[in-house]
Amino acid sequence: MVRGGLRKLVAQLEQDIAPAVVQGARIIEDQAKGLVMQGSVSGKGHVASKPGEPPNNDLGDLIRGIDHVELEPLHALVVSTAGHAAPLEFGTSKMAARPYMAPAADIRRKEVADLVARAASIAIRKSGNS
């Protein structure tokens, strides 16, 4: 009986938490895009960001490359596929870092953690193991 209850709880946790994990990834994705867009001017008036600040949007390829990927029900990643994403995030021997992904995660970490915690609480109540 306990074993069946545990299986039910695990299934309910996966069902209720998976959407929260994906929603959390979307929140961080949106934050990263916002950091790149914030105060940027594209085209002729473009000004590069200062070291340590998020990069300023220019042609939009960095923002278009930011996405989230659901790996499995309880695992999601926020990725940046633009060719210059990693050099901007981490810097190079010739350019200081202009991070935007890690700061986005840091800014929204508590919100995402609370979202997942609420989903877990709901799952526990639904499974009858409160």
Residue 25 confidence (pLDDT): 97
Q: Which of 19, 48, 46 is nearest to 118 (CA)?
A: 19
Alpha helices by DSSP H, 1-130: 2-37, 61-64, 85-90, 101-127
* Angle, CA of 7, 119 and 25, to the nearest 5°: 110
SS (HEC) of 77-90 = EEEECCCCHHHHHH
Q: What's the predicted TM-score (pTM) here?
A: 0.86
pLDDT in tens, 89-111: 999 999 999 999 999 999 999 99
Q: Say if residue 38's pLDDT is above 50.
A: yes
Bridge partners for 49 per DSSP: none
Residue 1 confidence (pLDDT): 42
